[in-house]
Amino acid sequence: MIVLELAGASKVYNPEENPVYALIDADLRVKRGEFIAIIGASGSGKSTMINLAGCLDTPSSGKVIIDGHDVSNLSEAELAKIRNEKIGFIFQSYNLIPKINALENVSLPLLYKGISAKKRKQLAEKVLNQVGLKERASHMPNQLSGGEQQRVAIARALITNPSLIIADEPTGNLDSKSGKAIMKIISSLHKKGKTIMTVTHDLNIAKLAERKITLKDGKIINGNS
């Protein structure tokens, strides 16, 4: 079963005056349960690729298919719905909302899904427990260490049980010890059958992945299947 497919996906910024080809004719298939790493120098098109995979953006040409749904031409509102249901994001800088506590941060995606407050709390407690932060539920983000904040962010990505988890430099802001702990969690998620796509400079993370996709100047140069 294919979770994500890029079929000849290209992204051109500023096509009229000064076109920038961020991604050129990319073909990629990610199977359910796969763990892939995207590597490449900065400006190689990694970000563009995960923006397309994460439905934050639509391709200039070609197709992006998530769980069999073509999302290439969806409106912003429809994309938001797909992101909410199918994608879990883990960012380099955690992106927790500072004025609400860990539990509320984790349950945020369910808010936009229209789940009741009681159910949200139950599910959020469950996923916080999975990342080992049960007793930190009522802490505000600024009361948590970087590693803990990233674990909260992982719990937030897990709460909707998404088809695809996208981790953009998940250890980039962390010291090596916290980074390892985060990698351990991500790798355990993979073992539980989650589909994970990560962008990284960290070769240790790339090593954990089953497959590495290398990008150069907007083109996939190896690892394609």
Partner 1 sequence: MEILETFKIALSSIKTNKTRSSLTALGIIIGVASVILLVSIGAGLKAYINQQFEELGSDTILISPGKMNFENMGGREDSFPGASANKLTLEISEKLEKRSKTAESVLPISVKSLTVKFGRETLSTSILGTTEEYALIRNSPAEKGRFFSESEVSGARKVVVIGKTIQKELFLNKDPLGELLILSGKKFKVIGILEEKGSTFGQDQDNTVIIPITTAKKQFDLDKLTYIYVKTGSIDQVEKASKETEKILEELVGEDSFSIVSPTEILTQVNSILSTLTLALGGIAAISLLVGGIGIMNIMLVSVTERTKEIGLRKAIGAQPKDIMIQFLIESVVLSILGGTIGILIGSLGSAVLGKFLTTRVTFWSIGLSFGVSTIVGVVFGVMPAAKAAKLNPIQALRHE
Q: Which is nearer to partner 1, 97 or 203 (CB)?
A: 97
Q: Is 97 in the site for partner 1 (CB under 8 A)?
A: yes
Provide the token pair at 184: 């351990």
Closest listed residue to residue 139, CA positions, set 96, 109, 89, 94:
96
In the complex with partner 1, the residue whose CB is nearer, 35 or 89, is: 89
Based on CB atoms, which residue is closest to partner 1, 60 or 187? 60
13 touches partner 1 (CB under 8 A): no
Instruction: Quote the CA–CA distance of 174 and 178 in Å, as a whole number.
Output: 6
SS3 of 154, please?
helix
Question: Looking at 27, 32, 91, 208, which residue binds partner 1 (CB under 8 A)?
Answer: 91
* Closer by beta carbon to partner 1, 21 or else 91: 91
What are the phi and psi torsion angles at 129 (to 5°)? -60, -40
Least distance to partner 1 from the beta carbon of 81, Å? Answer: 7
CA dist., res. 142 & res. 131, Å (int): 18
**What angle, rounded to 10 degrees, do the helices at 102-111 and 146-158 form?**
30
Can you give the binding site for partner 1, defined by CB under 8 A? 51, 54, 56-57, 76-77, 80-81, 83-85, 89, 91, 95, 97, 99-100, 108-109, 111-114, 117, 156, 160
